[in-house]
């Protein structure tokens, strides 16, 4: 494919950014396509600054906007490889449908993430835990104050080289006051609106020394759903447990991959409703010994404790547990190309 | 105040737009201010095209974005007058706080809507039911893929001359499947994320010949909350009823004004929980005879019937009822300057 010279120049001039804190060093060239009159344009490379949108667009005014988060790895591989791009494409389509937006064809989505990963191959951190974080998004661009779905849309893919979050053990705030998603709301898809709605809880969590919040079900505020940006697992008497999927929280691709891996490793697994108050008792009696969060950004991240808003703390353990460590290692071994990809998850770009 | 010549030229060249369907003819000049390093800039006039934002901003990616909708009237008045600008400023502040955004000072907010209304005085439709619709909004402009509140923000005010929705009697779909807001969610403020989340229901409503959806409470799907863009009233045995405010739906300024007006007119009023199934029985027995929606855009709009997704229809009445008509007329008389503003609601710009 032909790539504009100014984009090649910008990419060539691009040094590995200094600040590789998650998501901060967004690269200037993006993939972009436009939807107008019922049709998608080709995916092109462009500069973010040339594809800005109005504050009066349906994206900004009504949050008609969705995104995905995925990673291209280039550690032990000979070319960059993306983790489960087709599964992200499928979830992107489901998100688009929920928000009344035209789906982005799967091939177009995968073509875009491949193109950008190839373009930026030289700035993908090749150390362990490094990756190119890819952020496909789709949003309404109609400039109209009447509150209804847009007729025009923009599909963009932004990218940022990244090394993961710190590996310190985290505490998590039990969010007993607010729910993240209504029944029949948008919690089951990656809608923009789900995220800023959680900032208030994030602020409260940080004030209590917690990294994030644990959300409970919208009807009884009793059953665990997920963390603000990650899914949730615990280990009880050697068995791996995670909440059964509900349409009020996100079906994580990392979550699903870990269930597959765990089964393959011969671990006993259970998807079930997890009552927060029972879980607290089980932490106290010592039958639950490990907990971790999982998602594209942090992969697998051990949780030290749960905290109530009152400050009361329930500690799982002070060190990452054996099952947490095994699952993290096994998944990263596949993602970073140290072991065979026996599930067909990695796609070369 | 000094106004740039190119803006004055653009405004002078501006004919009354042909298409005054609600919200479609957005005017090119806007008010704009920037928040950076913990401080607000002055409010200026500018062109929308010069203040675009990145698709990678927290506004677009995470829906860190709020808005207000308000109107400047210029019918029988000698200068344009805005309806309850300070009350909109207060709600805007509450919305900003919920979404972890810096509040826009009340004086700045009111200065902005006044400035724009003066600038566009000549294109405000001076016929009955005409107005300048004003759309203040506030959104995060940081370009970052890390999911947390922005550090920089933009405050804009867009405007569109408008004549109200058609006055046909509307049918409304009873939304029994989805909830609009979670408990502790963002339903009580004007967050962008509340709106696109309702597009799916709007699509279903239209397929059934309905104009909008009626939302029920998030816990039991039983008590009426509001319509997608408006509050809800019924008349039962001559008494005016509306749902008691909950933090899951918007405290409408029109709703509050109508309660004040009704009390002043000596009507009996009740704010109470309204059970949808009891309401249906009361429609069928004939004790509930009128229903209407209210909000800035449509003012007071009679509702002909409620419909179930199955198609079953419950008809209030085929003609706007007497209390609906009285309240609509009384409110518009104040807004359009035909009667004395005995509540101090109108502010000259
Ligand atoms: C709300 C939420 N839950 C869970 C996840 C984890 O999903 P995945 O493993 O597909 O990244 C994410 C991140 O994508 C998320 O935003
Ligand atoms: C969800 C919702 N409910 C109710 C209203 C009515 O509020 P107001 O009378 O202040 O315009 C609006 C419109 O602003 C709204 O968006």
pLDDT digits 0-9 by tens, A6-30: 888 888 776 656 666 666 678 889 9
Chain centroid offset of residue A315 CA: 26
Pick from B110, B122, B34: which is nearest to B80 by CA? B122
Our CA-based measurement puts residue A137 at a distance from the nearest CA of chain B, in whole angstroms, of 8
A309 touches chain B (CB under 8 A): no
What is residue A25's predicted lDDT score, i.e. its pLDDT?
Answer: 75
Report chain B residues whose CB lies below 8 A from the CB of A50: none
Q: Which residue has the higher pLDDT, A164 or A169?
A: A169
Nearest to B60 among A182, A185, A192 (CB): A192
Out of B48, B100, B160, name the one closest to residue A200 (CB). Answer: B100
How far apart are alpha carbons A178 and A200 in whole angstroms? 9
Among chain A residues, CA nearest to B204: A100
Q: What is the pLDDT of residues A25-37, one digit of tens each?
A: 788 899 999 999 9
Q: Ligand 1: distance of its center to the CA of A70 in Å? A: 10
Using the 8-state DSSP alphabet, how is residue A274 labeled?
-
For ligand 2, atom 1: residue with the closest CA? B229
Which among A53, A64, A148 has the least Cβ separation from residue B52? A53
Q: Looking at beta carbons, which residues of chain B come within 8 Å of A54?
A: 48-49, 52
> What is the widest separation between alpha-carbon atoms in chain B?
64
| Candidate from B160, B192, B218 with C-beta closest to A62 | B192
Q: What pLDDT, on a 0 to 100 scale, did the predictor assign at position A128?
A: 87
Across-strand partners of A123?
none
Identical fold, A5-164 and A170-335: no
Question: What integer is the mean pLDDT of A184-189?
Answer: 96
Distant-in-sequence, close-in-space partners of B77: CB < 8 Å, separation ≥ 6 = B336, B337, B346, B348
Q: Report d(CA B292, CA B164) in Å as an integer.
A: 15
Express each pLDDT in A46-83 by its tens digit: 999 999 999 999 999 999 999 999 999 999 999 999 99
Query: Rounded to the nearest whole angstrom, what is the distance from the C-alpha of residue A251 to the centroid of ligand 1?
Result: 7
Q: Which helix (H) or strand (E) holds B61?
A: helix B58-62
Strand segments, DSSP code E, in chain A are 29-36, 39-40, 44-47, 65-67, 70-73, 81-83, 131-140, 153-162, 170-175, 212-216, 224-227, 231-236, 239-243, 269-272, 288-295, 299-307, 313-315, 346-348
Of all residues in chain A, the one with the smallest CA distance to B51 is A54
- B181 Cα: distance to centroid of ligand 1 (angstroms): 21
Cβ–Cβ under 8 Å, residues B158 and B30: yes
Q: pLDDT, tens digit, for every residue of B29-44?
A: 999 999 999 999 999 9
Parallel, antiparallel, or unpaired for β B170-175 and B299-307? parallel
Torsion of CA A146, A149, A153, A159, to 10 degrees: 100
CA A22 to CA A192: how far, in whole Å? 18
Q: How far apart are CA B329 and CA B262, in angstroms?
A: 12
Which residue carries 């390093």 as its tokens?
B37
Find residue B269's DSSP bridge partners. B240
B237-261 tens-digit pLDDT: 999 999 999 999 999 999 999 999 9
* Of A202-206, A302-306, B80-84, B121-125, the least confident: B121-125
Q: Is B55 within 8 Å of A51 when comparing Cβ atoms? A: yes
Contacts of B220 (CB under 8 A, 6+ apart): none
For the cut 90, the answer to whether the pLDDT of residue A305 exceeds it is: yes
Burial class (CB in 10 A: 0-12, 13-18, 19+), A251: middle
pLDDT computed for residue A15 by the predictor: 61
Q: What does pTM read for this prediction?
A: 0.96
Closest partner CB to B100 (pick from A49, A178, A203): A203
Q: Which two tokens stand for residue B165?
A: 């929705």
- B152 CB within 8 Å of a chain A CB: no
Query: Which ligand is the nearest neighbour of the Cα of B298?
Result: 2
pLDDT number for residue B11: 81
User: Cα A142 to the chain's mean position, in Å?
Assistant: 27
The domain made up of B5-164 has a fold known as D-amino Acid Aminotransferase; Chain A, domain 1 (3.30.470)
Distance CA(A183)–CA(A134), nearest Å, equals 30
CA–CA separation, A295 and B73 (whole Å): 51
| pLDDT at position B8 | 85
Q: Encoding tokens for residue B94?
A: 């509450």
Domain boundaries along the sequence of chain B:
5-164, 170-335
Ligand 1 atom 4: residue of nearest CA: A230
Give the three-state DSSP class for B333: helix
Average pLDDT, chain B: 94
Per-residue pLDDT at A78: 95
Per-residue CA distances from A268 to A10, A260, A302, A330 (Å): 50, 11, 19, 16
Digit-coded pLDDT (tens) for A263-291 = 999 999 999 999 999 999 999 999 999 99
The pLDDT score that the predictor gives to residue A1 is: 66
Q: Which atom of ligand 1 is nearest to the CA of A228?
A: 1
With residues binned 3-state (H G I as helix, E B as strand, rest as coil), the percentages for chain B, rounded to 5, are 30, 30, 45
Q: Kindly state if the Cβ of B254 falls inside 6 Å of ligand 2.
A: yes
CA distance A263 to chain B (A): 32
Contact criterion met (CB below 8 Å) for B295 and B226: no
Measured on CA atoms in the order B336, B339, B345, B349, is the torsion positive or negative? positive
CB B241 within 8 A of CB B274: yes
- Cβ of A295 less than 6 Å from ligand 1: yes
Candidate from B4-8, B289-293, B294-298 with smallest mean pLDDT? B4-8
Q: Is B190 exposed, middle or buried (0-12, 13-18, 19+ CB in 10 A)?
A: buried
> How far apart are the CA of B202 and the nearest CA of chain A, in angstroms?
8
Task: Specify the ligand 1 atom closest to the Cα of A226.
Answer: 3
Nearest Cα to Cα of residue B237 among B266, B215, B213, B267: B267
Whether CATH 2.170.190.11 fits A170-335: no
Cβ contact A145–B200 (<8 Å): no
pLDDT tens column, A226-268: 999 999 999 999 999 999 999 999 999 999 999 999 999 999 9
In this prediction the ipTM stands at: 0.96
Q: Exposure of A78 by Cβ count < 10 A (0-12 exposed, 13-18 middle, 19+ buried)?
A: exposed
Q: Is B230 in the pocket of ligand 2 (CB under 6 A)?
A: yes
Residue nearest to atom 2 of ligand 2 (CA): B229
Residue B22, CA distances (Å) to B25, B57, B92, B213, B333 in order: 8, 28, 22, 18, 21
Burial class (CB in 10 A: 0-12, 13-18, 19+), B185: buried
* B140 φ/ψ sector (left φ>0, alpha ψ -120 to 50, else beta): beta
Rounded to 10°, the helix B253-264/B322-335 angle is: 110
């Amino acid at each position: 494919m032909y790539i504009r010279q100014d984009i090649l120049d910008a990419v060539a001039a691009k040094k590995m950014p200094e600040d590789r804190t998650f998501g901060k060093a967004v690269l200037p060239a993006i993939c972009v396509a436009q939807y107008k009159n019922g049709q998608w344009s080709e995916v092109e490379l462009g500069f973010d600054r040339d594809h800005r949108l109005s504050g009066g667009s349906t994206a900004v005014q009504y949050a008609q906007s969705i995104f995905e988060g995925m990673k291209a790895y280039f550690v032990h591989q000979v070319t960059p490889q993306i983790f489960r791009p087709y599964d992200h494409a499928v979830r992107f389509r489901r998100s688009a449908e929920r928000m009344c937006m035209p789906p982005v064809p799967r091939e177009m989505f995968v073509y875009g993430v491949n193109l950008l990963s190839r373009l930026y191959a030289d700035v993908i951190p090749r150390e362990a835990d490094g990756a190119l974080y890819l952020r496909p998004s789709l949003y309404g661009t109609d400039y109209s104050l009447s509150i209804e779905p847009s007729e025009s849309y923009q599909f963009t893919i932004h990218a940022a080289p990244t090394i993961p979050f710190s590996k310190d053990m985290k505490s998590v705030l039990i969010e007993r006051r607010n729910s993240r998603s209504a029944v029949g709301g948008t919690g089951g898809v990656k809608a923009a609106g789900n995220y800023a709605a959680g900032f208030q809880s994030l602020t409260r969590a940080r004030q209590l020394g917690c990294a994030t919040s644990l959300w409970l079900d919208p009807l009884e505020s009793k059953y665990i759903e997920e963390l603000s940006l990650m899914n949730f697992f615990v280990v009880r008497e050697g068995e791996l447990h995670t909440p059964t999927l509900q349409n009020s929280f996100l079906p994580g691709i990392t979550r699903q991959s870990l269930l597959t891996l765990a089964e393959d490793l011969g671990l006993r697994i259970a998807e079930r409703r997890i009552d927060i108050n029972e879980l607290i008792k089980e932490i106290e009696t010592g039958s639950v010994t490990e907990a971790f969060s999982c998602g594209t950004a942090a992969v697998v991240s051990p949780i030290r404790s749960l905290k109530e808003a009152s400050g009361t703390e329930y500690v799982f353990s002070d060190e990452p547990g054996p099952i947490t460590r095994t699952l993290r290692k096994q998944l990263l071994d596949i993602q970073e190309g140290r072991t065979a990809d026996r599930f067909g998850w990695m796609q070369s770009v």
